[in-house]
Structure 1
Amino acid sequence: MSNSLSERRQMVRAAMKAPYLSREEEHELAVRWRDNRDEKALERLSISHMRLVIAVASRFRNFGLPLGDLIQEGHVGLLEAAARFEPEREVRFSTYATWWIRASIQDYILRNWSIVRGGTSSSQKALFFNLRRLRAKLNGSRQTMSDSELHQKIADAIGVKQSDVALMNARLSGPDTSLNQPMLDNDGASADRQDFLVSDAPLPDEIVTDTIDTERRRRWLFSALGVLSERELKIVRERRLSEDGATLESLGEKLGISKERVRQIESRAMEKLKAALLKSQPDRMAYSG
């Protein structure tokens, strides 16, 4: 820890001692790096802008992450800016690099601030990094607002839904809690927090067993359907195997017979199916019946 702190202080001192670059020097170094991959040019360009990295990183200290890590991520953004910078454009490198430095630091914060990953869209980033400031500003006004009204004003200012503001506010207000955090049960015995979470969902082995049984029964049924005539199969499919289930009357009209005749054919078809299933799986049919 002490070595890390010492290295950080040395880095800050070196950054503050680095001379500023003129526009002409900055342009020359950027061209040398882009065209010739001159490492010395990149090093000088990087060192001269480390004070900018430190300044941007310092704005994000309130998120609880080590300043040294933020500076390191900002340096990554600075190098990315150097790789993408176009010297011919009439823009100072510091102006261009500031966006990349800030973006790199913000991505790092979003990845490491919480054990629960948040959204990474532009609107979610804007909400994450501006919620506290806007909330403090609105709370500091003399206007009295409910939580719902406060969330709506913030949502309007950032351009997101009110529900997103409420969810992000809850995440920023409450600390993360591990499911493996030790707790005491009613008897005083030690247990993990996850032991107290009850789920009504089937167990994995039950899901697998049900899936296998369902597939097996499906194969038996389709095999048994082979004993039916074409008309019997049509009636069973539309009466028993379709989602809606056709009526006797509608099937009678389709087939040109009475609904009583449809009922008789269906009854006979079901008896043939039962006999076929008993023949192919006598033990299981006897157990299920």
Structure 2
Amino acid sequence: MRVSQAYLSPVEESALIRKAKAGDDHARDRIVLAFSRLAVSIARKYRTFGVPVEDLVSEGIIGLLTALDKFDPDRGNRFYTYAQWWVRAQILDYVFRQVGVVRGPSSAAAKMRFFRGERPVMSMSMEARVGGDLTVGDTLVCANPRPDELAETVIDGERRSAALDRALGRLKKRERAIIEARYLSDEKVTLADLSPVIGVSRERIRQIEVKALAKVSKAMAAE
């Protein structure tokens, strides 16, 4: 992917966005190319979660396109400032959707494991077919870890759990409430659910959520 395209001037940006929103595919492509470095930059910040950077960049591009569809050039804002929220939100949504492959006793437990940096465990039978006569079990070097390996995993999990507690403790009260409701609860809590409770719009909650998740990610990475 090319990311060397220079950012557009305000006049060029406004003109291209208007054309793109009118259905000009060439203008749309130019906008995406000009701001693709934004998607790459944000995607790289979340590579520590074990998701391929290429996948994160692709999600970032989807976020760019979403931002382009929703952006109003008449409000006087620069597209970069507006788009970064959508790019980050799309990437984070994708990262957390990876928790969906976990089948544990509760979704909250699965999400907590993900926050701690533990890789999700696929809920798949050891006898499930990979292809032909090959099963999932056949692809594993050792299904039963040694006691020392298991102990190391437990200790690492405890450290990350403590790190997560510290990271959450650094959040503002409203930020923590949103993160705990959205990602650490067994119940599915939507932006619409939180809007009347927090007293701000759904878009504002999304912005606070993205900022808070970035804080948690940065704090966890620094541990």
Scaled by the length of structure 2, the TM-score of the pair is: 0.50
RCO comparison, higher one (Cα < 8 Å, 6+):
2
